[in-house]
Structure 1
Amino acid sequence: MEIRSKHRVDAEKKAGDLRNKESKKRAEADKARQEASKSKNDSTVRSKLSLAAQRDKEAAAAGKEANRWQTKASGYAKQELEFQSRLRKAEVSEVNAAERKRRREEVTAARRTATEKAEAHARLARTERIVGDALREIRAPKPEKLRVLLLGAASEGDLRVGREQKRIRTAVDSALHRDSIELDVRPAATIADLLDGIIRFRPHIVHFSGHSNEDLIVFEYENDSPHKGHPVTAEAFLHALVAADEPPLLVLLNACKSAAQIDQLVQEAVPFAVGMADSIADGDAINYAAQFYASIANGQSVRSAHMAGQVALELAGLDGAELPTLAFAPGVDPGEAILVKAQL
C-alpha cells in the first residue's frame, strides 16, 4: 500500500512539474512573439519568431509528458482504491470469523459448565427437578415401531422444511429396518401440533426444523399467509415434552443456536438431545437430518447416527459439520442406545 501511494505521489509531482514547465515555455513563446511584433528589424523579427516556435514545441512536449505522468498517477490511485476495498473486505471477513469463533467457544464453554454442574449434582443427590431413574435408562424394546414426530415451521417461507421432511422420509424408506419406523409428519406445525403429537402419537423422537435461538423455538399460527411465527420459550417446550406419561427418548432441534437448550432437556426431560451450536445453513441442516435418520433406521446407535450426520456434511464439502451437538443425561451411553431393531 505504501509503495503504491509513493508511486502515485511521485507521478503527480512529475505531472505538476511538467505542467509548470509547459506554462513557462508558453509564456516565453508569447513574450518572443510580442517582441517580434514590436521590432522593425527583420533579423530580430525572424529570431524572435524562431524562438517562439521553439518554445511552443518545448511546451507541447512538456504537456504531452505531463499527460503521460497524470495517466500513471490515475492508474496508481485506482490501484490504491482497489487495494483499500480488498483490505476492508478482508478485515470484515476476519472480524466475522472471529465473532463466529467466539460464539462457538462461548456455547462450548457454557455446555461444559452446565455438564459439570449436572454431573456434580447427580453425584450428590437427585432432586425433584431431575426426571426419575426410569427416564435415565433406555426403556426396554417393545414390539412396536419407533415413532418419530416431525415438526416443521417456517411461517415466513424462508426455510425448506418440506424438503427436509421429504429427505428424512426417503432416507427411512431406503433403510434396512424401514418397516420398524413410523413417521408423523406435520409441516406448518403449530403449538397444537406439538401437544397433540406428543400426547396422541406418543413419539420416541421429537424432531423440530425451523427457527430458534438460545431461548426460543418458533412455531406457526393457524394462518395461511406468511407471518412472523409463534415463539415458544425453551421452558414451555420442555414442559410439553414431559406432559405425556412416557416422554420421548430423543429430541432433535434442527434449528439455529438451539444447542443452548439441549443441556436442560437432558437434565429434565429426555435421555438424548441434539441441537445446533450456531447458525446453520439450510442445506447443512437437511443433509445432517437425512443421514441421522438413515443411520437410526439401519440399526445404528444414537452416537453413530450423530457422527454419521456430521461426516456426511464433511464429505459433501459443507461448512457446518461442527455445529450439530449431542448431549445426553448422566448414566446413559449414546454408543449403546440403539433405537431401532429388527422386528421378530
Structure 2
Amino acid sequence: MALIDSYRRNVARKQDEIARLTEQKAKEYTKITGFNNKIQTATRQMNSSKSVTTINSRLKEIHRNQEDIARIEKKTAEFETKIAKKNKELQAEQRKLGNEEIKEAKKLQQQQVKFQLDQAKAFSAVNRTLTEHSDAINSLNELPEEITVLFLASNPRDQGQLSLDEEVRSIKEMITKSRHRDAVKLESCWAVRPGDILQYINEYQPTIVHFSGHGSSDNELVLMDNNSNTKLVSMRSIVQAMSVANEDLRLVFFNTCHSKNQASNVTEYIECAIGMNTSITDNAAQIFSAQFYSSLGFGLSVEKSFNQAKAALILEGIPEENTPALFVKSGCDASEICIVAE
C-alpha cells in the first residue's frame, strides 16, 4: 500500500471517530433537556403544594434530576475532551497527508519531465535512424518499375551437356508465379561466345547478368568458340567486362562450377554477386536459381532471396546448400539491397 493511501485512510478514520463522538455528545445533551423539564414540573408542584410530604418528595425529585444532569454534563465533558484529542490527531494526519501529496505532486512533475525528455530522445533517435537510412530509402524509391535479367547460356559440344533449357524454363515459371512478375523481364541468349557478352549487355541494359554453363577449377568461364567448342575466358577478362558494363547492372550470378573467385572479384565494381564454391549438379543449379529469382520477384532483399534459395535445396533433399556463395561490395549490405520494387 502506498504511503499516501495510508494517510488518506487515517484521515478518513479520524473524521469518522470525531463524527461518532459528536453524535454521542449530542444525544447526551438531549437528555439534559428532559431532566430540566422534570425539574421545572417538580418545582411548580412544590410551590403550589402545602403538603410537607409532597414538598419533600418534589425536593428529592429535583435533587435526583440535578444529579443526573451533573452526571451527563460530566459525560459530555469527557466527549469534548475526546473530540479535542481526535481533532489534534486529525490535524496531524492531515499534515502528513498534505506533505505526502506535495511529494507525490513533485514526483509526478519529475516523471512528466522525464517522460518529455524520453520522448524527445526517442524522436531524436527516430530522426537519426531515418537520416542514417535515407540513402537506402532513396534507393528503394528509385527502384525501376521493370528490371531485366539477362540469361547468358553456353554449352559447348565438347563439354558434358547441361539442361540449360530446363533451368531457364524453371526460372521463367517461378518469376511468373511471383507477386511482381510484371516487373521482371527475362531475356535469354544462347551459345554465347566471348564477344557476345558486352554486345548483349549493351543491347538489353540488364539489372542482373546470369551466366549459366560450365566453369573450370582455374577460375575460368567456359564459353564457345566459332565452332561451338570450348573457349575459356579468364576471371580477369570477366571482371573487366563487368567493370565497364551498364550503370544499371547490380548483380552478377555465376551459375557455373568453381565460380566463387569470379563472384568475389566482380563485387569490386558491382553491388553483389553469386558464385559456386565448388562444382554444382545440374538439378541443384536449376532449383537454386529458380527460387532465387522467385524470391526477388516477391520484393525480398538479395540476402533473403539467397537464403531462401539455399532453403529450397534443403527442402528438395539436395545436400548442396553450402555450394552457392553470396558476395557483396564493400560498404553494402545484402539485407538492404532490394532489386525489385515492393
Question: What band does the TM-score fall into relative to the shorter chain?
Answer: 0.5 to 0.7
Query: Moved runs in structure 1, 4+ residues, more than 6 A?
Result: none
CA distance in 2, matches of 1:325, 1:138: 24
1:99-127 per-position Cα deviation (integer Å, ceiling 9, x unaligned): xxxxxxxxxxxxxxxxxxxxxxxxxxxxx
Cα 1:210–1:245 shift into 2, 3 Å? closer
- Partner of residue 197 from structure 2, selected from 182, 194, 199: 194
Whether 1:173 and 2:176 are equivalent positions in the alignment is yes
Corresponding residue of 1:296: 296
In structure 1, give the amino acid aligned to 2:306: H
- Offset at 1:140? 5.8
Paired residues of 2:219 and 2:258 also in contact (CA < 8 A): no
Structure 1 residues 230 and 296: alpha-carbon distance in aligned structure 2, compared to 1, 3 A threshold: same
TM-score normalized with structure 2 length: 0.56
Q: Where does residue 331 of structure 2 map in the other structure?
A: 331
Residue 147 of structure 1 contacts residue 204 of structure 1 at CA under 8 Å; is this kept in 2? yes
- Could you tell me which runs of 5 or more consecutive residues in structure 2 were left unpaired when the two chains were aligned: 1-134
1:184-223 map, 5 Å = 184-213=187-216, 214-223=218-227
Deviation string 1:137-184 (CA, Å, 9 cap, x unpaired) is 968624431111101111125111111111111111111000001111
Deviations 1:270-308 (A, max 9, x none): 010100001111101111000000000111110011001
The match for 1:145 is 146
- Per the alignment, residue 341 of structure 1 pairs with 341
DSSP-derived class of the 2:212 partner: strand
SS of the aligned residue for 2:334 comes to coil
> Corresponding residue for 1:233?
234
After TM superposition, give the deviation of residue 244 of structure 1 in Å.
Answer: 3.2
Q: Is the 8 A contact 1:207 1:253 kept in 2?
A: yes
Determine the C-alpha separation between the residues in 1 that align with 2:186 and 2:285.
Answer: 19
Are 1:164 and 1:286, in contact at CA under 8 Å, matched by a contact in 2?
Answer: yes
1:264 corresponds in structure 2 to: 265
Residues 188 and 140 (structure 1), Cα distance of their counterparts in 2 relative to 1, 3 Å cut:
farther
| 1:210–1:243 Cα change, 3 Å | same
Instruction: Quote the Cα distance in structure 2 between the aligned partners of 1:244 and 1:341.
Output: 22
Q: Cα deviation per residue 1:238-293 (whole Å; 9 max; x = unaligned)?
A: 111122351611011011110122221112x2010100001111101111000000
Tell me which residue corresponds to 1:287.
Answer: 287
| Counterparts of 1:209 and 1:216, CA distance in 2 | 13
Per-residue deviation at 1:193? Answer: 2.8
Q: 1:144 to 1:318 in 2, by over 3 A?
A: same
Aligned to 2:310: 310
Q: Which amino acid aligns with 1:250?
A: L
Q: Secondary structure at the match of 2:267?
A: helix
Could you tell me the percent identity over the aligned residues? 31
2:35 corresponding residue in structure 1: none
Largest Rg, 1 or 2: 2
With over 3 angstroms needed to count, the CA separation of the structure-2 counterparts of 1:307 and 1:282, relative to structure 1, is same
Q: What SS class does the counterpart of residue 335 from structure 2 fall into?
A: coil
Measured on the aligned residues, the alpha-carbon RMSD in Å equals 2.0
CA–CA distance in structure 2, aligned partners of residues 144 and 216 of structure 1: 34
SS at match of 1:252: strand
Kept in 1: contact 2:143–2:341 (CA 8 A): no
Q: 1 CA distance for matches of 2:171 and 2:263? A: 22
Q: Which AA in structure 2 matches 1:180?
A: A
C-alpha contact (below 8 Å) 1:218/1:232 kept by paired residues: yes
CA distance in 2 between partners of 1:279 and 1:198 (Å): 26
In 1, Cα distance between equivalents of 2:230 and 2:146 = 32
Matches within 5 A, 1:1-344: 141-156=142-157, 158-213=161-216, 214-223=218-227, 227-246=228-247, 248-267=249-268, 269-342=269-342
Contact 2:151–2:211 (CA under 8 A) maintained in structure 1: yes
The unaligned stretches of length 5 or more in structure 1 are: 1-133
The alignment's TM-score, normalised by the length of structure 1, stands at 0.56
Aligned residues: 203
SS of 2:322's partner is coil
Change (3 A) 1:189 1:319: same
Query: Any conservation in 1 of the 2:145–2:341 contact (CA below 8 Å)?
Result: no
